[in-house]
């Protein structure tokens, strides 16, 4: 209704405004995704023009590829680390910043620092932090009386070392989301709780936490979608190794395509990643829709 | 009262634990970068260097970091500039005009936020070879602009929706065409959203790695993240040197944050806060 006056613009003008963005987006995002699917139907090295049509053959191989499932499992592990550790740590940091301690501005800056570094720089820094001989992490362990650990070389431990770094990098991001949400909680709610004689534990569980649920949901969505994008930190710190212990879909796709030159197979992995992301988004949107609907009813 | 005091102390203790957790690696990085090689090997963990030296900073600059730095500045500035222009142009009709394809087009653009970049790598690799721009900075421009568009359009449309429509109606009455209205009336008003877009994309592109990895092989064309990785391969023994390079590479974003904290926080969390 408001729009009656708005649309004094003809289709051509609208198109002219949108065209530059649309063109770049189609050429570098939409067309490549379609082409990735097309490539995934061929056996192709990428080095020569020789291509053999194999239909869904690459997907069948993928289904039977043990490393693919291992990589997928590691991606799921990233999601779990994010939801179960990063988000709570972010919440705790946000609560510290919203408490009445002195030097909040200082803590705010220091807590946020890790999120400002490039992932490559973080990866390289932590390779040295985790260095078995000269690294500070092992030095601290030894000082505390533990024996040194070969963090990135031990297949059973490497994945947790990398996950630790991911948590270090991204907790501040969730801290910011929670801090904004906490600032938005009306004081009246706490005053009402005071009148009812609530202690601070009650206030947290009955006032703060329930009002933060939308933020927790948003954060979890970001964590799930973000985990599929993980690549840099694994590529830099372990390259997916030792063996395939820290392999994730991103590193596996990269290796198949750009190191082994199995571009067809790599395309199949890439398109599978796209499908997984798509399915996740659809599920999340549906759940979100149901949650909202229920919210209106109740 | 006593209980409250105890709680206060507990909060400080937890805050300090987090402080060590987040800040110690930075202290290690910066203090190592200021140590001489001998000092580093003698006391790798001492927080305050025995003797301070800036030699590593000069030597990494000479060893090619200056080139990587310059490349990163050029590609980031060019991509952000183009993104701001084409994203705000597209956001104008998407947020303020009603037409049949409005909603589908908007969703089509912002769906890109959820996309795993890997799904586009091989075709973009092939495309840049076909265009003859493979292994040049120019090869990064297309993907950098394209992958910055979804979040930029999202932030800009959210902001433009809230501009009162009387503003442009006045301009239309004055006989200005739509482009002139956009340029003189809308664009000056959306500056806060533009600065959010600039900050978000600056940080995202300054630290971008995977496109640079697949599209660039010559050191003369490398951006900072790729150059750092290259450095690591060549100078893995020279730890203070590498730490100096890491510090220099991280400096622009950290400085930006110190000077414009609130803006950067808003910029980096992008659209997430609205959702």
pLDDT of residue B176: 67
Cβ–Cβ below 8 Å for A172 and B182: no
Residues in chain A with pLDDT values less than 70: 1-9, 295-298
**Per-position DSSP letters for B71-118, written without gaps between them:** HHHHHHHHHHHHHHHHHHHHHHHHHH---TTHHHHHHHHHGGGG--TH
Distances (CA, A) of B170 to B92, B175, B177, B186: 17, 9, 12, 12
pLDDT of residue B213: 95
Q: Are residues B200 and B112 in the same domain?
A: yes
Q: Closest-CA residue in chain A for B209?
A: A232
Domain of A249, CATH number, reads 1.10.3720.10
Residues in chain B with pLDDT values less than 50: 274-275
Q: Within a 13 Å sphere around the CA of A178, how many CA atoms are in the beta-carbon half?
A: 28
Answer yes or no: is A106 within a domain: yes
Q: Closest-CA residue in chain B for A253?
A: B118
Write out chain A residues lying below 8 Å of B124, CB-based: 28, 32
Cβ–Cβ below 8 Å for A136 and B28: yes
| Closest of B42, B33, B36, B89 to residue A23, by C-alpha | B89
Residues 52-91 of A with CB under 8 A from B: none
Cβ–Cβ below 8 Å for B224 and A118: yes
The two three-digit tokens of residue A275, written as one number = 């499908």
| Closest of B40, B37, B69 to residue B55, by C-alpha | B37
Interface check for A6 against chain B (CB to CB < 8 A): the answer is: yes
Distances (CA, A) of B264 to A284, B50, B189, B255: 28, 36, 19, 11
Answer yes or no: is A17 within a domain: no
Distance from CA of A240 to the nearest CA of B (A): 15
- Distance separating alpha carbons of residues B274 and A297, to the nearest angstrom: 23
Cβ–Cβ below 8 Å for B86 and A3: no
Q: Other CB atoms closer than 10 Å to residue B51's CB: what's the count?
A: 9
Domain of B88, CATH number, reads 1.10.3720.10
Q: What is the pLDDT of residues B85-129, one digit of tens each?
A: 999 999 988 888 878 888 889 989 988 888 889 999 999 999 999
Compare CB distances from B122 to A2, A128, A267 and report the shortest one's residue. A267
Q: Which residue has the tokens 């414009």?
A: B260
pLDDT of residue A298: 38
Q: Are residues B77 and B101 in the same domain?
A: yes
Strands (E), chain A: 42-44, 51-53
Cβ–Cβ below 8 Å for A116 and B203: yes
Q: Return the DSSP state at A43.
A: E
Interface check for A258 against chain B (CB to CB < 8 A): the answer is: yes
Q: Return the DSSP state at A2.
A: G
ipTM: 0.87
Cβ–Cβ below 8 Å for A28 and B145: yes
Write out chain A residues lying below 8 Å of B89, CB-based: 17-18, 20-21
Q: A243 in helix, strand or coil?
A: coil
The two three-digit tokens of residue B29, written as one number = 């990085």
User: Can you give the residue range of the structural domain that contains B17?
Assistant: 1-53
The two three-digit tokens of residue B43, written as one number = 């006391």
Answer yes or no: is A171 within a domain: yes
Residues 147-206 of A with CB under 8 A from B: 168, 172-173, 176-177, 180, 200
User: Can you give the residue range of the structural domain that contains A239?
Assistant: 65-297
pLDDT of residue A4: 42
Q: Give the total number of structural domains in chain A.
A: 1
| Closest of A91, A274, A72, A77 to residue A174, by C-alpha | A91
Q: Other CB atoms closer than 10 Å to residue A233's CB: what's the count?
A: 23
Answer yes or no: is A177 within a domain: yes
Distance from CA of A81 to the nearest CA of B (A): 17
Distance from CA of A236 to the nearest CA of B (A): 8
Q: Kindly state the greatest CA–CA separation across chain B.
A: 76
Q: Which residue has the tokens 């060893």?
A: B63
Answer yes or no: is A263 within a domain: yes
Interface check for A146 against chain B (CB to CB < 8 A): the answer is: no
Answer yes or no: is B58 within a domain: no
- Distance separating alpha carbons of residues A158 and A238, to the nearest angstrom: 8
Q: Are residues B189 and B234 in the same domain?
A: yes
Q: Are residues B97 and B149 in the same domain?
A: yes
Q: Give the total number of structural domains in chain B.
A: 2
Among B34, B53, B72, give the residue marking a domain's end.
B53
Q: Residues 6 or more apart from A74 whose CB is under 8 A from it?
A: A159, A246, A247, A248
pLDDT of residue A38: 92
Compare CB distances from A25 to B149, B246, B268 and report the shortest one's residue. B149
Write out chain A residues lying below 8 Å of B125, CB-based: 46, 258
Cβ–Cβ below 8 Å for B18 and A92: yes
Answer yes or no: is B177 within a domain: yes
Distances (CA, A) of B6 to A92, A286, B2, B52: 18, 46, 6, 41
Q: Closest-CA residue in chain B for A248?
A: B118
| Closest of B94, B71, B215 to residue B152, by C-alpha | B94
Q: Are residues B41 and B113 in the same domain?
A: no
Q: Are residues B103 and B5 in the same domain?
A: no
Q: Return the DSSP state at B193.
A: H
pLDDT of residue A29: 94
Write out chain A residues lying below 8 Å of B226, CB-based: 120
Under 8 Å CB pairs connecting chains A and B tally to 267
Q: Other CB atoms closer than 10 Å to residue B165's CB: what's the count?
A: 13
Write out chain A residues lying below 8 Å of B169, CB-based: 5
Q: Are residues B6 and B134 in the same domain?
A: no
| Closest of B216, B177, B194 to residue B263, by C-alpha | B194
Q: How far is CA B46 from the centre of its chain?
A: 32
Q: A231 in helix, strand or coil?
A: coil
Distance from CA of A29 to the nearest CA of B (A): 6
Interface test with B, best of A120, A161, A199, A201 (most B CBs within 10 A): A120
Distance from CA of A231 to the nearest CA of B (A): 8
- Distance separating alpha carbons of residues A191 and B143, to the nearest angstrom: 51
The two three-digit tokens of residue B195, written as one number = 């600065």
pLDDT of residue B270: 62
pLDDT of residue B275: 35
Spatial contact of A70 and B162, defined as CB atoms under 8 Å apart: no
pLDDT of residue B221: 93
């Amino acid at each position: 209704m408001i729009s009656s006056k708005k649309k004094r613009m003809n289709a051509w003008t609208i198109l002219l405004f949108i065209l530059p963005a649309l063109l770049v987006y189609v050429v570098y995002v939409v067309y490549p995704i379609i082409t990735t699917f097309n490539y995934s139907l061929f056996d192709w090295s990428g080095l020569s023009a020789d291509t053999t049509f194999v239909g869904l053959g690459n997907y069948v191989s993928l289904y039977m590829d043990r490393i693919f499932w291992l990589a997928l499992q590691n991606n799921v592990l990233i999601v779990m680390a994010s939801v179960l550790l990063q988000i709570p740590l972010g919440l705790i940091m946000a609560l510290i910043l919203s408490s009445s301690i002195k030097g909040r501005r200082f803590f705010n800056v220091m807590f946020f620092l890790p999120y400002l570094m490039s992932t490559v720089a973080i990866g390289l820094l932590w390779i040295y932090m985790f260095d078995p001989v000269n690294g500070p992490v092992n030095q601290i362990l030894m000082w505390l009386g533990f024996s040194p650990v070969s963090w990135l070389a031990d297949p059973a431990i490497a994945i947790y070392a990398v996950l630790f770094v991911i948590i270090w990098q991204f907790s501040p991001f969730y801290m910011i989301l929670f801090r904004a949400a906490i600032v938005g909680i009306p004081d009246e709610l706490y005053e009402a709780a005071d009148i009812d004689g609530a202690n601070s534990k009650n206030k947290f569980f009955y006032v703060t936490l329930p009002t933060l649920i939308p933020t927790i949901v948003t954060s979890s969505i970001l964590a799930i979608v973000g985990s599929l994008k993980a690549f840099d930190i694994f590529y830099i710190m372990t390259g997916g190794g030792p063996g395939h212990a820290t392999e994730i879909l991103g590193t596996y796709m990269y290796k198949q395509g750009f190191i082994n030159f199995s571009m067809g197979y790599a395309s199949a992995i890439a398109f599978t990643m796209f499908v997984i992301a798509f399915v996740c988004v659809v599920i999340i949107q549906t759940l979100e829709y149901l949650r909202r609907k229920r919210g209106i009813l109740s | 009262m006593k209980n409250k005091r105890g709680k206060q102390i507990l909060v400080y203790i937890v805050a300090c634990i987090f402080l060590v957790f987040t800040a110690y690696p930075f202290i290690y990085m910066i203090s190592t970068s200021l140590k001489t090689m001998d000092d580093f090997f003698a006391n790798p963990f001492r927080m305050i260097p025995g003797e301070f030296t800036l030699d590593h900073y000069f030597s990494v600059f000479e060893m090619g970091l200056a080139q990587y730095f310059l490349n990163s500045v050029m590609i980031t500035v060019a991509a952000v500039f183009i993104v701001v222009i084409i994203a705000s142009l597209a956001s104008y009709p998407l947020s303020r005009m009603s037409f049949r394809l409005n909603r589908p087009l908007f969703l089509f653009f912002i769906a890109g936020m959820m996309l795993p970049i890997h799904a586009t790598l091989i075709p973009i690799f092939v495309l840049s070879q076909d265009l003859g721009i493979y292994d040049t900075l120019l090869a990064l421009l297309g993907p950098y602009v394209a992958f910055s568009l979804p979040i930029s359009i999202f932030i800009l449309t959210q902001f433009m929706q809230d501009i009162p429509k009387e503003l442009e109606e006045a301009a239309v009455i004055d006989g200005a065409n739509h482009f002139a209205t956009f340029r003189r009336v809308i664009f000056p008003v959306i500056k806060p959203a533009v600065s959010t877009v600039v900050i978000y994309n600056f940080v995202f592109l300054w630290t971008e790695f995977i496109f640079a990895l697949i599209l660039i092989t010559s050191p003369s064309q490398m951006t900072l993240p790729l150059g750092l990785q290259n450095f690591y391969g060549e100078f893995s023994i020279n730890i203070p040197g590498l730490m100096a390079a890491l510090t220099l590479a991280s400096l622009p974003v950290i400085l930006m944050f110190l000077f414009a904290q609130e803006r950067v926080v808003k910029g980096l969390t992008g659209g997430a806060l609205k959702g």
